[in-house]
Structure 1
Amino acid sequence: MSFATLRKTVCTDIDIGTALKEITSNPHIGDALAFDLLDGRHIECVVTDINDNAIRFDSADCLGDGMTYNKVEKWLDRIDHLLPEEVRQAIVDTERKHIIDGKKISRLERLFLPAAPELFSGDDVLGDEGLYMQLEWYKDRRHRMKIDEPGGSSVAYWTSSQRSGNSSAFCYVTSSGYASAHYASYTWLSAPVCFRIRKS
């Protein structure tokens, strides 16, 4: 199995442990960690945020799995078990904030979806005002666009944000990178994978 760390235009095939050490010791927004899941699917995760303690990675694209919103949590758990062991061991629990049926809650999550306010600003956060600030990475609409498989087309995908005032609808990103919302029972939406690893 081959692994790669990408920095701007440089691509080096190295083992996953070395790639993680390189990125955690000197991270940059836009760095990418590319690897194969245990089921053989390839995934590339991009550094989208860095703070004093950890580095956030978001999958550059979706994995081609369509699902209803209520299946997302089980899907993330399944993906967690398909990660290479080096990546699984490096992931730290992340406190994630949600507004569910008008109540603000927090919970620890290993893998998670981005929230609408991390992707958008202004009215496009669709009810999650004040939870998060838009990440610099996602101010570029092209970074919000994701494909469903290598060589595939741009796909709509779920966020973790419930649509304000509607307990059965959740926010999603359109295939063109814009904000929208739909009923949680819709199955044609995919999901990205986000996680954080501790800085070295």
Structure 2
Amino acid sequence: MAKLITKNEQSISWKELAEGVKAGEIALQQGDTVELKLTTGEIVFMQAVKVSEDGKRVTFVSKDCLATEMPMNEERTNYGGWAESDLRKRLNTEVFNTLPEDLKEVIAITKRRQYVDGKIVECEDKLWIPSEYEIHGREIFAEHVEGEEQFELYKDRRNRMKKVGNNGEDTDWYWCGSPVASNTTSFCSVDGDGDAVGYNASTALAVPLCFEI
């Protein structure tokens, strides 16, 4: 069972949550939190960061990152961007398989778009990580794709700071899905203070979990 944490905590399955949202019976707000328990036993707290205008589609990003750090690519390259990355493949196979069955049934397919070598590349994912623009709301190291918006929650720098797992007090560096435009080896990331940085793609950093229902 998932645990919806708003003003009143209640137990609810992901299927019930998704059906309630689509029926207009559950109105999630930005910042509302749902407790997700992976089949590995790991607990991840998912925050609603975007609600569609009709209220029937909700984007979630984990408050903190997964407990296991991962490289964006095994090789030190950003070739192909997010669409061709090893991390994308790992999230949508290995990590996806650790989700509870009721969540697997209701996760929506999300279309991701970004500039790679001056061209827009698209892919469709169930699990993904946010772009630099969705985190920071401006172009810093990556080129902005028209239509991207900063998640309202991340206008507060404190909400951009994430830990590895949900234990401990120290925040750490984590990946964004955007390749750095000025070189061929790095992806965008966020440091422990919530600021934008770039990092070598082959380095293991923390990984936020994102999906839509």
Q: Match of 1:13?
A: 11
1:98 counterpart letter in structure 2? Q
Mapped partners of 1:128, 1:65: distance in 2: 28
CA offsets 1:22-45 (integer angstroms, 9 cap, x no match): 455312111111121011111111
Contact 1:102–1:165, Cα closer than 8 Å, also in 2: no
SS state at 1:104 partner: strand
Correspondence 1:120-159 to 2 at 5 A: 120-124=136-140, 126-131=141-146, 132-152=148-168, 153-159=170-176
Of residues 62, 65, 77, the one that matches 1:62 is: 65
Mapped partners of 2:156, 2:142: distance in 1: 21
Contact 1:145–1:176, Cα closer than 8 Å, also in 2: yes
Contact 2:2–2:13, Cα closer than 8 Å, also in 1: yes
Q: Match of 2:117?
A: 101
Of residues 180, 183, 189, the one that matches 1:166 is: 183
1:183 counterpart letter in structure 2? N
Contact 2:163–2:172, Cα closer than 8 Å, also in 1: yes
Q: Match of 1:74?
A: 89
Gaps of 5+ in 1: none
RMSD: 1.8
Q: Match of 1:177?
A: 194
Say whether residues 1:33 and 2:50 are aligned partners.
Answer: no
Mapped partners of 1:149, 1:135: distance in 2: 21
Say whether residues 1:116 and 2:119 are aligned partners.
Answer: no
Q: Match of 2:50?
A: 49
Identify the structure with the greater strand proportion: 1
Q: Given the superposition, is the C-alpha separation of residues 38 and 192 from structure 1 closer, same or farther in structure 2, using an over 3 Å criterion?
A: same
CA offsets 1:111-153 (integer angstroms, 9 cap, x no match): 11100000113343x2222441211111011111111123222
How many residue pairs are counted as aligned between the two chains? 193
Q: Given the superposition, is the C-alpha separation of residues 128 and 10 from structure 1 closer, same or farther in structure 2, using an over 3 Å criterion?
A: farther
Report deviation, 1:158.
0.5
SS state at 2:129 partner: coil
TM-score (norm 2): 0.83
Contact 2:113–2:145, Cα closer than 8 Å, also in 1: no
Q: Given the superposition, is the C-alpha separation of residues 45 and 32 from structure 1 closer, same or farther in structure 2, using an over 3 Å criterion?
A: same
Mapped partners of 1:167, 1:67: distance in 2: 19
Which deviates more from structure 2 when the two are superposed, residues 170-179 or residues 95-104? 95-104
Mapped partners of 1:82, 1:32: distance in 2: 20
CA offsets 1:137-175 (integer angstroms, 9 cap, x no match): 110111111111232221110000000121211100101
Q: Match of 1:83?
A: 99
Gaps of 5+ in 2: 74-85
1:45 counterpart letter in structure 2? M
TM-score (norm 1): 0.88
Mapped partners of 1:15, 1:61: distance in 2: 21
Mapped partners of 1:68, 1:87: distance in 2: 25
